[in-house]
Structure 1
Amino acid sequence: MILDMERRNACDNKKVLVDTDIGGDIDDALCLAYLLGHPSCELMGITTVSGEVEKRAMIADAICKVAGRNVPIHAGADKPLLPSPLYPKPDGAARLSNWAHETAFQKYRAVDFLRQTIRENPHEISLLAIGQLTNIALLFLIDPEIPELIKELHIVCGVFSDELQTSPDMPMANWNSWADPHACAIVYHTNVPVRRTFGLNVTTRLTLQRREKADLFSTDIMKAVEDFGSPWLENNVMTFHDPLAAACLFEPQICEYQRGFIDVEIKDERTLGMMHFRPSDDGCGEIATSVNRNHFFEHYFSIVCR
């Protein structure tokens, strides 16, 4: 009976690769803690993107070490596809001295690792993209067969709300597209068997005040998450953008979805990176249109607060 259960659990496991700009907004670290804690997540590797990628890899490694896990980690693209004055730095790296971590990470190694892992596990990899899409675009350009070899692709990107699109924070708040709109356009003009996008119209409903879950940062791994995220939390509300996309790999019913096409603005500088959704039953992907907030947090807490 125990052996049968172990076999069943192995069959239910998801092989996950996560591409992240961890070290700024705390949600990347919250997401990593969830993946490390999920019993059905076989975390195949972590790749980093977007400014000082080596330090971002160190942060990811530090959190993995606290969890007692040896996960392959590779630094990726340090800058967007086209020249840009943007060069975001991971403020959380200031906390690296508080935690044990490896330091031997080199830039531009991520794409080779992603390509090899996906080719060695065809139609089995769930790819989670929670940073700007430079690494993913380069992967798709270098090996055009890769998109068809991925099992599913979850992306945190976009706004998909007229009200949010006209807010003073746009287009910068749509960071994962705005920071490298050309990479974003490449990814969204490539067909993947299953592609789901989680935009600000849904993820911004998942804010959490510390008083709502006073013991959230009580475990060792969550203490590390809090430490690396503390520079962000000094001036920002904790919002679970990235953890939602991760949770929906395992509990897709947390959200409702709509099928359609997404176009990315790459010509007009005023709206650079803006993503336009066109509903269609024949569309090549889905966007999340709503989220069950209670279901999400109950599920998230059940994983990270054990």
Structure 2
Amino acid sequence: MLKKILYADSGNGHTQEMLKTLQDIPAFQNCDLTILHVVSPQSSADALETKWEEGGKILGEIVKNVNIDPAKVSTILRQGEPKDVVCQVAQEIDADLILMGSRGLKRLESFLENSVSQYVFQLSDRPMLLVKDDIYIRRIKRVMLALDKSEAAQYALELTINMLKDYREAELYLVRVNPDLDANVDLSRTEMEQNSILAPALAQAKRMGINAHCIVTGGKPGKKICQLAEEKDIDLLLLGSPDRRPSIAKSLVDLDRLLGSSLSDYIRVNANCPVLLVRK
């Protein structure tokens, strides 16, 4: 499932650290990597030439820093609006994952400040691994997957299983937050493992030799998931992010969605670890 990664350079050192960390996971070691740097439109030909030269040097430094087999790395230097170019290149190379930095701006801030990651998050149909500027990147050992009944959640489960199946150091937490349950509900381990949504996921994880645990709780899903990620000291958080836009609007920017009212948007902004948002 993971064959092509698009690394969209934002000048964020944490994102490079994340890319290095992914190389410890067997599922990522044979991926083809495309590193993209976008030169924004310039006011003069001289300014453009300068930025173009700088972009080439930046790409060279990234390739050197990430220490990946050169045969599996390609670079793209392109002029345009970064938010548009990232989406275009992801389609062109048929990326299985977009990796990019995020300032973690909230709702209206993100829209008004023209956030590239927010724009790509709303308009791309590719899984995205977002790395905020203010978080600490660690070796990935403790992974959390939030599940519900959506198709996107099931695809997130497939991606998680494929990512961790040969990675013996991983510990996977399967989480179901039911808003109809009391936030302080205290279920036994057996009750949690028999949850109708988590039980099949747990069985699938165990078949692949993944060390997995179940957590079932109540409360507001976004807030609770972020709280659990902090309590369990999670290194990577995954969840499905359904695309609710009608097909006629897929090429348009929807103001309500850019203002960020969705669960995945809340977690993108508030989680204290890298977040992988999965769409299908």
TM-score (norm 1): 0.38
Q: Which has the larger radius of gyration?
A: 2
Name the TM-score, length of structure 2 as normaliser.
Answer: 0.40
